[in-house]
Amino acid sequence: MLTLTENATLVIKSITGVEGAPEGAGVRISQENPADPALAVTTTEAPRPGDQVVEEAGARVFLEQNAANALDDKILDAAVDDKGGVEFLLVPQPGANGTVPTP
């Protein structure tokens, strides 16, 4: 299952916890075509039917089924640039795909 870094958790909470946002809002990641690696990231009030919900320290990520399959062994990280833009980064989880983590 997708996991979140502390940075990703903080960034997601900051963009979904703005004043007036509904309780339980989150970031939704979707993938239109499983053969295409492109992912779409949007903020949303709630998960859609069939979405997998990943919640960590109050940050909520909703994964559309194709995206959930593609990101099952990934870690989501995030950063904010000096202009306030958010950048998400996906990295493999240690031990994913038969790799052995280095000590």
Q: pLDDT per residue over 20-32, tens digit each? A: 778 889 999 999 9
CA distances from 37 to 27, 33, 34 (A): 18, 8, 7
Q: What is the pLDDT of residues 41-90, one digit of tens each?
A: 999 999 999 999 999 998 999 999 999 999 999 999 999 889 988 899 99
In sequence order, what are the beta bridge partners of 75? 3, 91
Task: Give the number of other Cβ atoms within 10 Å of residue 12's Cβ.
Answer: 26
Domains identified in the chain, total number = 1
Q: Is residue 97 part of a domain?
A: no
Q: Is residue 42 part of a domain?
A: yes
Q: Is residue 60 part of a domain?
A: yes
Which CATH number does the domain housing residue 49 bear?
A: 2.60.300.12
Boundaries of domain holding 38: 3-92
Q: What's the pLDDT band for 96 if we cut at 50, 70, 90?
A: low
Model pTM above 0.95: no
- Ramachandran assignment for 10, one of left (phi > 0), alpha (psi -120 to 50 degrees), beta (any other): alpha
